[in-house]
A and B are shown apart, each in its own frame.
Chain A
Amino acid sequence: MRYHAAKTFEEAASIAAKADGVTRFLAGGTDVLVQLRAGLVTPDDLIDLKHIDGVQDITRLDDGGWEIGVAVAGARLGAHEALCADWPGVVEGMELVGSTQVQGRATLTGNLCNGSPAADGVPGLVAAGAVAKIVGPDGMREIPIEEIPAGPGKTTLAKGELIAAVRLPARGAGGGDAYQRFIPRTEMDIAVAGCAINLRVEGDTITEARVAIGAVAPTIRLVPEAAELLVGSTLDAATADALAAAVSAAANPITDKRGTSEFRTEVVGVLARRVAQTAYDRAKGDRS
């Protein structure tokens, strides 16, 4: 195994592009190092990104959005008051990943690139309309988060490409987002189903919405037909029920050791109803 401490994203991309064996990027390491120790993956090239300038930064952009560096740990997101005020759903998703100790290392980008359909950090990003800033052999590009997962353990990134940062849009007025997952325990578990909703209200009426679901399909999925139901409503009971049904209908889960297909399909709808309420309350000014 060759270890590389890259100084720039371009250098990291160049090393990855030239590598011909198993290549892994190292930011928090909470997936790579665990997989290494368990004997699941032994990289030929391990490219450490933590030494690149700015990777630990959470930056407010000129347009009011946010840029979150590739090596920012979950615990730092949770400690960032302004970010938490803007995007509580994104932060609460990331904070569900692992234990307190893991939170000291684990990163949003790592959670995304691990490619798990059950990644708790990702549905919130998708619902928020976040984009990934990608560096590769052909330069830099930005793509929506939902276009990155390609299936369990897989991403759409090409050889030599890596994510340099994640960008969240400006929050704007009347916005609120939330994420919940279902696990049989209270913590230290993998989502059996997850749902994130981001919406905007004017008065009591929802004017924009995005709904994302996790752990109920090969990838984390945006559900536009569910979001459409929300827009124009005041989240009355009938809308909430229709939302639950639409979300359940969009789910296409497997049965495995963590839950049955039937259970996941039903519960993701239940979560959608609950998450929509929290996002709605937040949009209306309830910051709890």
Chain B
Amino acid sequence: MAKDEFREFRLVGTRPDRPDGLDKVTGRARYGADISAPGMLWGAVVRSPHAHARIVKIDTSKAEALSGVKAVVTRADFPTGLTGDEWDLQENTMAGDKALYDGHAVAAVAATSKLRAEEAARLIEVEYEVLPHVIDVDDAIKPDAPVIREGAADATVPEGMPPNVVRYFEHGRGDLDAGFAEADLVRENTYRTEATHQGYIEPHACLGQLGEDGKGEMWVCTQGHWFIRKMCADVLGLEKSQLRVTPSEIGGGFGGKTTIFMEPLSLALSRKAGGRPVKIVMSRSEVLRATGPTASASMDVKIGMKKDGTLTAGRAEFRMQGGAFWGAPVDMALDCAFAAYKLPAVMHIGYDVLANRPKAAAYRAPGSPMAACAVESLIDEMCRELGLDPMEVRLKNAVREGDRSSYGPKFKSIGLVETLEATKAHPNFSAPLGPNQGRGIASGFWFNHGGETSVTIALSEDGTVTVSAGTPDIGGSRASIALMTAETLGIPYENVRVNIVETGALGVNEPTHGSRATFATGKAAVEAANAAIKEMCRRAAVEWGIDPEAVEWVDGAAQPAGPNAGKFPPMSIAEIAGNMGSTGGPISGHHEGNLGGVGASFGCHVVDVEVDPETGRTTILRYLVVQDAGRAIHPAYVEGQYQGGAAQGIGWALNEGYVYGEDGRLQNSVFLDYRVPVASDLPMIDTVIVEVPNPGHPFGVRGVGETGITPPLPAIANAIHAATGARLRHLPMNPPSVLAAIKAVKGG
């Protein structure tokens, strides 16, 4: 099925040991909290216990008087006059006039020990005037809803909308009315998904140091240290180049570590404490209360379908809250909603709404899982009503290369049809089912991203190679970059070491987000390797006294290109590297740019569930992920991404969700009660890697990290419907909800 199926690779597509494996299994890997420095202080953060409150007074005198306390900061220690996103980041880092959610930072303290810092934090007295709050997105746009910030709406929001609507989207094409008129069945339903947290196992941690001269350093667990540098510098009014940021190993991010939370606090405390480094490590409770979950959503979807399954029109109206700041991914959700379908008429309407919750951060395919939950559920419901096979309906309406996407551009090479066909061919798709069991399928989509990327490769004296990359390795990018570099250079995988380097070592790199590390950093590494090859060929040409154009690179060595070029034995990379000091000095290759050529990735999931009819408890019996990887550089890591996305989606579908009390406080801020799936909740997740190469990447890579979380929500809703006859349109589909839905079906 691959377009270049005859091209054979020596390393790409193999499964060598991961370069970080030994460090991680022996505990040698250094994560955020593992970094310490001489003279280090510990920071602790005072957080608002109220969802919405005016800060009347902060008295820090008792904390400052405590022995061992070296600095206390409040918003008064931050520069004023920021606007736009920079103000939002500063406001979220440390509350100003108002605390906007339970967990919002209002003060911070640095002391000589963690216990002392925590004791001092308890001594800081904050006087609040509690204000009415709003948690639910639909409540937030009611006429009497508390207003979180007057004038927060941007220019997209028409006059007269509720004040908590801060962005408005409306776009589409085709004649919607004609489309619905042409349909044999038109259905419209409302779907709701809860906010969920990325749930990375490593809490946020950093060590920051900032002198009175404005020069600083930071060691931090992050997906993107240039983002940390820029955001911290903006929030604190620093020169960006004076802040040097080094990323640690990272224990998961899933998008949630592409922004700042307590990092500027450590720098502000350090500056006030005479430049002593300050370490801040969040507790799980702080992570859940104060760092970015994704948005909660309330979504109306309307679809027109003919008796033969042909889709005629689709309309999506999504309302999402992303906390007390703009940024709910409603725009991306709308773009993903109908992406898998050819639709003659489509309309998207979206509202980004403020509520008294933590500021949303990116979470794996931001917006797409919610959109899929609504659209893929409704497609399934309509197929049932018309007696159609939902897989055949998906195939019938599937977008192909050259089709105009629902969100605008024409698709280039994509692998949706190949993915659906591979799904049909898998044994899970036709495995027999027992009583109380049901099967659900759903598709998913993510655009993927290229973005700002800068990579350098350098030859060592023995002919081995280091790659300096700027995208922290969350999901195996060091292995895939090493494979692509070694493949290009014609050397063993083991001869390449990929280092994630600090902000001073390369040009600006965007974070590891948008499923871009293997795509973009990999692409830049291949180009950098090609630049090094060009230089190595030139060195050989000089040695041989022939034209550089007459030298080619084959199997890790320079050789004359054909008999006319001259007769010389191949000169290996080790020989060239060994002599480089006397042939012109160091040899490296560099590539940077705003890399395009991304290829979208479609997936299809099949899940079999068994529902206990007496308790409403859902057990996942079998789970299949089929997804287009373009080219799987390291298939084990690709499978890991597929499985990880499915696992997170299963949690989101069944039990995860923020539970707020009447007082607006988060009730379940520990993993005991914020119920991510545990290992024994899941079966081995089966995977099929479809490879329809992306022509925009030298090896055909599509990003694979995000699509996998998109289909589980609707796939499980569809499976529960098949098992019980009950349709759940509101997540999470936890046992009480499922039991109530089963009883409602039986009762009526």
Contact across chains for A189 and B675 when beta carbons are under 8 A apart: yes
Determine how close the nearest CB of chain B comes to the CB of A186; give it in whole angstroms.
4
Interface string of A235-272 (1 = CB under 8 A from B): 00000000000000000000011111011001100100
Contact A260 B736 (CB under 8 A): yes
Q: Is the CB of A266 within 8 A of B681?
A: no
B242 CB within 8 Å of chain A: no
Chain A proximity mask over B635-679: 1 for CB below 8 Å, otherwise 0 = 000000000000000000011000100000001100011010110
| Residues of A contacting B668 in the complex (Cβ-Cβ under 8 angstroms) | 257
Q: Is B36 an interface residue (CB 8 A)?
A: no
List, in ascending order, chain B residues with CB within 8 A of A184's CB: 617, 654-655, 675, 734-735
Given contacts A257-B668, A260-B736, contact A182 B615 (CB under 8 A): yes
Q: Are B677 and A185 in contact (CB under 8 A)?
A: yes
A186 touches B667 (CB 8 A): no
B-side contacts of A186, CB under 8 Å: 678, 680-681
| A70 part of interface (Cβ distance < 8 Å) | no
Q: B615–A187 contact, CB under 8 A?
A: no
By a CB distance below 8 angstroms, the chain A residues around B614 are 267, 270
Docked CA distance A267–B736 (Å): 10
Name the distance in Å between A189's Cβ and chain B's nearest Cβ: 7
| Cβ < 8 Å to B, chain A residues 126-151 | none
Q: How far is the CA of A187 from the CA of B671 in the complex (A)?
A: 12
User: A190 contacts the other chain (Cβ, under 8 Å)?
Assistant: yes
- Knowing A263-B736, A263-B739, A270-B615, the reply to whether A187 touches B678 (Cβ < 8 A) is yes
Report the bound CA distance from A192 to B734 in whole Å: 12
CB within 8 A of A39: which of B118, B673, B677, B740? Answer: B118
In chain B, what residue has the closest Cβ to A256? B667
CB pair A257 B617 closer than 8 Å: no
Q: Interface SS of chain B: helix, strand, loop or mixed? A: loop
Residues in A neighbouring B654, C-beta threshold 8 A = 184
User: For the complex, what is the distance from the CA of A38 to the CA of B670, rounded to whole Å?
Assistant: 11
User: What sequence of 0s and 1s flags, for each residue 731-748 of chain B, a beta carbon within 8 Å of any chain A beta carbon?
Assistant: 000111001100000000
Given the known interface contacts A258-B673, A270-B615, the answer about A185 and B736 at a Cβ–Cβ threshold of 8 Å is: no
Contact between A187 and B680 (Cβ–Cβ < 8 Å)? yes
Bound Cα distance A267, B615 (Å)? 6
Q: Which residue of B lies closest to A192 (CB)?
A: B735
Please tell me if the beta carbons of B739 and A266 are within 8 angstroms of each other in the complex.
yes
State the Cβ distance, A127 to closest chain B Cβ, in Å: 21
**Other-chain contact of A257, B285, B673, B677, B681 (Cβ < 8 Å):** B673
Within residues 671 to 697 of chain B, which ones have a CB less than 8 A from any CB in chain A?
672-673, 675, 677-678, 680-681
Q: Could you tell me the distance in whole angstroms from the C-beta of A190 to the nearest C-beta in chain B?
A: 6
Name the B residues within 8 Å of A266 (CB-CB): 739
Task: Give B161 Cβ to nearest chain A Cβ, in Å.
Answer: 33
Q: A165-185 toward B: CB 8 Å interface, digit per residue (1/0)? A: 000000000000000001011
On whether the beta carbons of A185 and B681 are closer than 8 Å, the reply is yes
- Chain A residues 39 to 93 lying within 8 A of chain B, measured CB to CB, are 39
Contact present for A185 and B615 (CB under 8 Å):
no
B736 to chain A: closest CB distance in Å?
4
Give every chain B residue within 8 A of A192 (Cβ-Cβ). Answer: 735
Residue among A39, A185, A256, A260 having the largest count of chain B Cβ atoms under 10 Å: A185
Contacts of A190 in B (CB 8 A): 672-673
Nearest to A267 among chain B residues (CB) is B615
Min CB gap A30→B, angstroms: 13
Give the shortest distance, in Å, between B341 (CB) and chain A (any CB): 34
Contacts of B673 in A (CB 8 A): 190, 257-258
A-B pairs with the 10 shortest C-beta distances? A263-B736, A186-B680, A257-B659, A257-B667, A270-B614, A257-B668, A184-B655, A260-B736, A186-B681, A188-B678
27 A–B contacts, CB within 8 A, in A order = A38-B285, A182-B617, A182-B735, A184-B654, A184-B655, A185-B677, A185-B678, A186-B678, A186-B680, A187-B680, A188-B672, A188-B678, A189-B672, A189-B675, A190-B672, A256-B667, A257-B659, A257-B667, A257-B668, A259-B735, A259-B736, A262-B736, A263-B740, A266-B739, A267-B614, A267-B735, A267-B739
